[in-house]
Amino acid sequence: MAQGRLVIGTKRYSSWSLRGWLAVRLAGLDVEEVVLPLAGGSSPEVKRLTPSGTVPYLEHDGARIWESLAILEYCAEIAPRLWPADRVVRAHARSVGSEMHAGFRGLRMAMPMNILREFPGQRRTPEALEDIARIEALWAEALAAHGGPFLFGAGFGAADVMFAPVVCRFLTWQPDLTATSKAYVAAVRAHPLMERWYADAAAEPASWLLDKYENPA
Ligand SMILES: N[C@@H](CCC(=O)N[C@@H](CS)C(=O)NCC(=O)O)C(=O)O
C-alpha cells in the first residue's frame, strides 16, 4: 500500500507541481498521485485537499508538506544525493534553488507554463528578458564549474528540479538563448522523468484546457 499521496495540478500547466513531483519521484517515495485540473485561480478542489490551497502538497509517512521547496528538502532528507555532497557546492546549489523559488516573477508572469504548446518569439517583456539574462548567467556559472550536463554535474539534482519548469517555459516561448543554455535545456528535457511528465500531460482530458493558457494574448 502507498505510504501517502502527492496532490498536484495538471501536468500541462502546473509549474510548481512539476518541482514537487520530480523531487518525490527522484527520491523514490511510494505515494499515490492525485492530479487535479486548475481553474487559473483558486480551485475549490485544491483548497479542499491541501492546507495552503496550493499544489504541490505531499503527505508521506506522517509528514504533511506544502511549498515545493519544502517538499524538495523533505525528499532530499530521504535521498541526500539530491544536493551536492560538498558543503560549499551545496550552499551554491541551495542559493540558486532559493533564488528560483523566490523570484523571476517577470518571467513567470510573461511566459506561463504550457508544456504542450509553442509560442515562439512572444511575450518578450523587459522584465522577462531581465530574468532570463540572470537565469542564463547562473546556469552558465554552475555548468562551467561542474562540467554539466546538469547544473551541479552528472546527476539531475535539486537545483535542476527547481529550474525544470523554466526549461519548459523556454521550450514553449523560445526566447533567444546561448548555446550553453540550449544544451542544458535539451539535457533536462531528455531526462526520463521529464519524458514521463510530458507523456502524462498529453493524456490529460481536453476538458482541463484553459483558454487563457491555450490562446495567450
Ligand atoms: N510557492 C508555492 C506556490 C504553489 C502554487 O502557487 N501553486 C499553484 C498552481 S501551479 C496553485 O496551487 N494555485 C491554486 C489553484 O490553481 O487552485 C509552492 O512552491 O508550492
**Cα 40 to middle of ligand 1, angstroms:** 10
**Which of helix, strand or coil describes residue 135?**
helix
**Cα 180 to middle of ligand 1, angstroms:** 30
Q: Which residues line ligand 1 (CB under 6 A)?
A: 9, 14-17, 38-39, 42-43, 46, 54-56, 67-69
Domains and CATH numbers, the chain: 4-80 (3.40.30.10), 81-196 (1.20.1050.10)
- pLDDT, residue 41, reads 76
- pLDDT, residue 145, reads 98
**What cell numbers appear for 184 in the block?**
542544458
Question: Which residue's CA is the closest to the ligand 1 atom numbered 5?
Answer: 54
- pLDDT, residue 106, reads 98
DSSP 43: -
- pLDDT, residue 108, reads 96
- pLDDT, residue 200, reads 98
- pLDDT, residue 1, reads 85
Q: Count other Cβ atoms within 10 Å, centred on residue 148.
A: 17
101-108 contacts, C-beta under 8 A, 24 or more apart = 101/68, 101/69, 101/162, 103/131, 104/131, 104/134, 104/135, 104/166, 105/131, 106/130, 106/131, 107/131, 107/132, 107/135, 107/166, 107/169, 108/15, 108/169
Q: Mean pLDDT for each consecutive 10-residue tract of the chain (217 residues)?
A: 96 98 98 94 92 97 98 98 98 98 96 97 96 98 98 98 98 98 98 98 96 92
**Which of helix, strand or coil describes residue 7?**
strand
**Cα 56 to middle of ligand 1, angstroms:** 7
**Cβ contact 20:58 at 8 Å:** yes
- pLDDT, residue 149, reads 98
- pLDDT, residue 60, reads 98
**What cell numbers appear for 39 in the block?**
481553474
